[in-house]
Amino acid sequence: MDIYQHRRHNKNLLMVHLIFVTKYRKKIVLGDFRDAVK
């Protein structure tokens, strides 16, 4: 039972990480692109 909970926990951490990366990467990439265009 402990192994199942551990895997589930890791899956949730991975999902949160992917949401965080995709949410904030767009702002960072657009910011760098704007600086390059100026």
Average pLDDT along the chain, 38 residues, taken 10 residues at a time: 49 54 58 62
Q: Which residues contact 18 (CB under 8 A, 6 or more apart)?
A: none
**What pLDDT shows up at residue 3?**
47
**What pLDDT shows up at residue 5?**
47
**What pLDDT shows up at residue 4?**
46
CA-nearest of 36, 34, 15, 14 to 26 is 34
> Which residue bears the tokens 């657009």?
30
Sign of the torsion angle spanned by Cα atoms 8, 11, 15, 17 = positive
Helices (H) and strands (E) in the chain, counts: 1, 0
**What pLDDT shows up at residue 34?**
61
Residues for the chain: how many in total?
A: 38
